[in-house]
Amino acid sequence: MPRPMTQLTLSGEERERLEKEFRETGDVRTRTRLGALRMLCGGTHTLAQVAEAVGCARSTLQVWVAAYRRGGLEQAVLREKPGASSSPMQDAGLQQQLRENFAAGAFRTCEQMRRWLRATHGIVLHLKAGYYWLKSFGAKLRVPRPVHIKKDPQAPAAFVAGLEDTLAALPLRPGRPVRVWVEDEARFGLHTLVRRCWALPGVRVVLAHQRKYQWAYMFSALEIGTGRHVPLWMPGVDLGITTTFLEHLAASEPGAEHIILWDGAGFHPRPELHPLPAHIHLIRLPPYSPELNPVEKLWDIVKDGISNTIFPTLDLLYEHGLVPELEPFKNPNRVLQLLGNSSMIASVNASSIR
């Protein structure tokens, strides 16, 4: 047997007042209760139908109806618990303080924000509410890039600002084309590199991996103007091996002057201490500033491609891992896309040597 329809009987004046408050109220919760009462006035819906329409439980709707019958509209919309608008987190000044602290890096976890609110403003914020406010500020959970404690924060910007002058001061032979390279090297070995992978819901990913301590090094140089890529797979790193790579790079275009931007690794030769191949000019990047070198992005792409795979030997790692991953970078357009247009790349392209 179906449930009987529920009807509220309101006087003409009370009905007009209900309609007026329903139209004018700006509070969502109050409007929900008034909307439910409006539907019940028609006598064409059951309590269950009205409850489903306004998004509440049938028992909650019964409480609202009983409240109306006890004290009219005032009693029906009265809430014993304050709404969200009464939260101290709604204060615009407090929200601005939180945004400024986030911008300054004062909060790295939700718990740090909650402790600050409790200690500074006496606000006890539930963890779930903390996540809500983090999202409302536009905050995103990110993995920080490690930065060496000795890094000078002003050094990268100062290097880029003076790069055009540094390039102009190099003893380049007139009449020869100039190639500007960014160079780096990375170690690749037989120890399986584990990274995140896709899986269906409910499937636990299990990966076989090996611990084999054999490795070699991939040297890689990207030319900023033409998008050329010169890689070289070497058994290790030292001054002699690095010099061999510089000779290999110079031989890729013997008629050009080659300028190389790279870091200050101990196995990188220094012009004032070590002999260099002809037509090679070196510029050291600031210490602990890998973000200036676009080749770092290349290594991340390669490692992502060879991850979660077992290579029994270094030859197989090179032939079936590194070579396929580096193949797209034979295309100059792909290299130029990887290089991007950072301030350092823009300074090189704008310099008088080009």
Tell me: do 299 and 195 sit in the same domain.
Answer: yes
Tell me: do 224 and 194 sit in the same domain.
Answer: yes
User: Long-range contacts for 229-237 (Cβ within 8 Å, ≥24 apart)?
Assistant: 229/326, 229/329, 229/330, 229/335, 230/181, 231/326, 233/318, 233/322, 234/185, 237/185, 237/265, 237/267
Placement of tokens 């220094």 in the chain? 270
Contact between residue 322 and residue 215 where contact means Cβ atoms under 8 Å apart: no
Q: What is the CATH number of the domain that holds 341?
A: 3.30.420.10
More confident residue, 274 or 78: 274
Is position 55 within any domain? yes
Identify the band that residue 65 occupies on the pLDDT scale cut at 50, 70 and 90: confident
Q: Tens digits of per-residue pLDDT, 282-311?
A: 999 999 999 999 999 999 999 999 999 999
Percent of the chain scoring above 90 in pLDDT: 61
The average confidence (pLDDT) of the chain is: 90
Q: Tens digits of per-residue pLDDT, 197-238?
A: 999 999 999 999 999 999 999 999 999 999 999 999 999 999
Tell me: do 287 and 311 sit in the same domain.
Answer: yes
Identify the band that residue 158 occupies on the pLDDT scale cut at 50, 70 and 90: very high
Is the confidence at residue 94, as pLDDT, over 70? Answer: yes
Tell me: do 200 and 98 sit in the same domain.
Answer: no
Residue type at 12 in one-letter notation: G
Average pLDDT over residues 161-185: 94
Contact between residue 326 and residue 302 where contact means Cβ atoms under 8 Å apart: yes
Is the confidence at residue 26, as pLDDT, over 90? Answer: no
Contact between residue 348 and residue 285 where contact means Cβ atoms under 8 Å apart: no
Q: What is the DSSP string of 44-64?
A: -S-HHHHHHHHTS-HHHHHHH
Tell me: do 41 and 172 sit in the same domain.
Answer: no
Tell me: do 236 and 193 sit in the same domain.
Answer: yes
Average pLDDT over residues 103-129: 91
- Residue 193's CB is within 10 A of a number of other CB atoms, namely 16
Q: Which of 62, 38, 36, 49 is nearest to 5 (CA)?
A: 49
Tell me: do 48 and 181 sit in the same domain.
Answer: no
Contact between residue 89 and residue 31 where contact means Cβ atoms under 8 Å apart: no
The side-by-side arrangement of strands in the sheet containing 280-284 is: 229-234, 215-223, 178-189, 257-262, 280-284
Average pLDDT over residues 80-106: 80
Greatest Cα-to-Cα distance within the chain, rounded to the nearest angstrom: 102
Residue type at 118 in one-letter notation: R
> What separation, in Å, do the N-terminal and C-terminal C-alpha atoms of the chain show?
89
* pLDDT at residue 24 in the model: 85
Domain of 278, in residue numbers:
155-350
Average pLDDT over residues 123-127: 91
Q: What is the DSSP letter of 170?
A: S
Is the confidence at residue 166, as pLDDT, over 80? Answer: yes
Integer CA distances (angstroms), 67 to 9, 22, 70, 83, 169, in order:
14, 17, 5, 18, 86
Average pLDDT over residues 3-13: 69
Burial status of residue 265 (CB atoms within 10 A of its CB: 0-12, 13-18, 19 or more): exposed
More confident residue, 173 or 74: 173
Which residues pair with residue 181 across a beta bridge?
Answer: 223, 260
* pLDDT at residue 6 in the model: 63
Is the confidence at residue 1, as pLDDT, over 50? Answer: no
* pLDDT at residue 5 in the model: 55
Tell me: do 104 and 122 sit in the same domain.
Answer: yes
Number of domain units in the chain:
3
H helical segments located in 150-280: 155-161, 163-168, 239-251
Q: Which of 203, 184, 205 is nearest to 194 (CA)?
A: 205
| pTM of the complete model | 0.68
Tell me: do 196 and 287 sit in the same domain.
Answer: yes
Integer CA distances (angstroms), 306 to 183, 298, 327, in order:
21, 13, 13
